[in-house]
Amino acid sequence: MKTVNKYQNQKVLVLGLARSGVSAAKLLHKLGALVTVNDGKPLEDNPEAKELLAEGIRVVAGSHPVELLDEEFTLVVKNPGIPYSNPILEKAIEKQLPIITEVELAYEICEGTLVGITGTNGKTTTTTMIGEILKNGLKNGKVELAGNIGFPASTVAQKIGKNDVMVTELSSFQLMGIIDFCPKIAVIGNIYEAHLDYHGSREGYVKAKWALQKNMTGSEILVINGDQPELVELAKASQAEVLEFSSERKLAIGASQVDGTIYYNGDELMQAVDLGIPGSHNVENALSAITVSKLLGIDNDVIVETLKTFGGVPHRTEFVGTINGRKFYNDSKATNILATEKALSGFNNNKIVLLAGGLDRGNSFDELIPTIRGLKGLVLFGESASKIAVAGKEADVGTIEMCETVQEAVVKAYGLTSEGDNILLSPACASWDQYKNFEDRGDDFKQAVKNLKE
């Protein structure tokens, strides 16, 4: 951990707790800052706030009083999920106070090599792939995963030495709150339309993602999806060294896939079908992971063996098990149509029953029609079930079943299949109509499979 003196005796407001807020508050306290934490949850129901109080950190809990900004704070560290329309943040902007997220703090203290991963889809899988490859192949030092993957970057960075690598998954929310943050290697795997309710427009969302490379120079490397014209065009203005990967054409430099063969710098590396997890999106994730791993000096045989045995990340085309020759996959993280299209690309439609549905956001599912043609069956649940059924009929899906719950959907799907078929939960919708989050939905699916097996 680098020695940082800039926060000594500086008054800093940490807005919002959860894991990142707790981590930021503790680190700033350790660095000598005069920390005030403000969290909306009442103190009596707020174990994190009580923990910070016990460590001598000031906590204001239960509401977000704008009057706090009358104090002479020099910095605000916000929880990534809190929108900039929050009254405290609006006042902070008016007062021209810097507003950061805790990944900025992590960058300031990180002694080792910082790798930053972002994109609309595949961030967690790519981050985890890279972590597994480095764990198996780094000759000096260790690898740690951090960021949006669930481990606060400002906590992980404290454990990173000069020979270590910190692979950090970064959301658009986190990237809006960076000032000097600059990874040694950055990956932007893809950019599609997402989180418009937070960013206000697609342009705002793209700007947030693109901020990952804003401080990079020729001594840092930016890895982009060369099959996305938007990224290729944006990269022309980057000061970083740019490396592309492609799943559509063979590249002389970098990772690519053509006709099912994966190459690096034009040399054959492995067959795409040998990847441990299916789907065209996972080919792209693997190409990102290969590029970063080669830049960090990992041997080809380590990369290939790790990717062959990589079993995926929970809720992201996660293999759950086999019952009487039917394979079950949990892709609950597919909260939009594009993610479901990507998941289905790894299977033969005539051998798959798709489980889909969830929160009704008012959109139609016409975009899904080409992807679901030829499906063996469609089992639908949740608020959006009837809308997806319309798309299913347009796509001439032979069997469409409606039900109330994921548990019921698993049983119905099993009844539509035979040995050699696949059952995939890939909802194309958010989970909040019936679940707290997509993880809960995926866990419910896995429990249903377990119940069926028993």
The amino acid occupying position 246 is S
Total tally of structural domains belonging to the chain = 3
Residue 120 is labelled as binding a ligand: yes
Q: What is the structure's pLDDT at 239?
A: 98
372 and 301 belong to one structural domain: no
Give dist(CA 328, CA 318) in Å, integer: 8
Print burial letters for 248-275: b (CB count within 10 Å at least 16), e (below 16).
eeebeebbbbeeeebbbeeeebbebeeb
Q: pTM, whole model, 2 decimals? A: 0.84
Residue 209 is labelled as binding a ligand: no
Domain assignment of residue 6, yes or no: no
User: Quick one: angle between helices 337-344 and 280-295, nearest 10?
Assistant: 90
Domain assignment of residue 5, yes or no: no
* Interacting residues of 43 by C-beta distance below 8 A, sequence separation 6+: 49, 50, 59, 61, 62
Tell how far CA 74 is from the center of its chain. Answer: 31
178 and 291 belong to one structural domain: yes
Domain assignment of residue 222, yes or no: yes
Residue 119 is labelled as binding a ligand: yes
331 and 264 belong to one structural domain: no
152 and 230 belong to one structural domain: yes
Q: What is the structure's pLDDT at 65?
A: 96
* Interacting residues of 278 by C-beta distance below 8 A, sequence separation 6+: 317, 346, 347
Residue 16 is labelled as binding a ligand: no
Q: What is the CATH number of the domain that holds 368?
A: 3.90.190.20
324 and 436 belong to one structural domain: yes
272 and 379 belong to one structural domain: no
Residue 123 is labelled as binding a ligand: yes
Q: What is the structure's pLDDT at 229?
A: 97
109 and 80 belong to one structural domain: no
**Of 64, 81, 100, which one is at a domain's C-terminal end?**
100
Closest CA to 2 of 34, 32, 31, 35: 31
**Of 283, 309, 335, which one is at a domain's C-terminal end?**
309
Per-residue pLDDT of the chain (454 residues; tens, 9 = 90+): 999 999 999 999 999 998 999 999 999 999 999 999 999 999 999 999 999 999 999 999 999 999 999 999 999 999 998 999 999 999 999 999 999 999 999 999 999 999 999 998 889 999 999 999 999 999 999 999 999 888 999 999 999 999 999 999 999 999 999 999 999 999 999 998 777 778 889 899 999 999 999 999 999 999 999 999 999 999 999 999 999 999 999 999 999 999 999 999 999 999 999 998 888 889 999 999 999 999 999 999 999 999 999 988 889 888 899 999 999 999 999 999 988 998 998 899 999 999 999 999 888 999 999 999 999 999 999 999 999 999 999 999 989 999 999 999 999 999 999 999 999 999 999 999 999 999 999 999 999 999 999 9
Domain assignment of residue 204, yes or no: yes
Closest CA to 26 of 156, 165, 145, 115: 156
Domain assignment of residue 49, yes or no: yes
Residue 125 is labelled as binding a ligand: yes
189: containing domain: 103-309
Domain assignment of residue 270, yes or no: yes
Alpha-carbon distances, residue 340 vs 141, 268, 374, 408 (angstroms): 38, 29, 15, 20
Q: What is the CATH number of the domain that holds 301?
A: 3.40.1190.10
269 and 391 belong to one structural domain: no
86 and 180 belong to one structural domain: no
Domain assignment of residue 350, yes or no: yes
Domain assignment of residue 4, yes or no: no
Q: Could you give the dihedral angle defined by the CA atoms of residues 147, 148, 152 and 154, in that order, rounded to the nearest 10 degrees? A: 40
Q: What is the structure's pLDDT at 436?
A: 94
Alpha-carbon distances, residue 354 vs 344, 347, 381 (angstroms): 9, 11, 11
340 and 289 belong to one structural domain: no
303 and 432 belong to one structural domain: no
Q: How many Cβ atoms are within 10 Å of 399's Cβ, its own excluded?
A: 14
Are the C-beta atoms of 130 and 311 separated by less than 8 Å? no
Residue 21 is labelled as binding a ligand: no
132 and 278 belong to one structural domain: yes
Give dist(CA 357, CA 377) in Å, integer: 14
Task: Provide the sign of the torsion angle of the four alpha carbons 393, 398, 401, 407, taken in this order.
Answer: negative
SS3 assignment, position 384: coil
**Of 289, 309, 329, which one is at a domain's C-terminal end?**
309
Q: What is the CATH number of the domain that holds 55?
A: 3.40.50.720
Are the C-beta atoms of 343 and 424 separated by less than 8 Å? yes
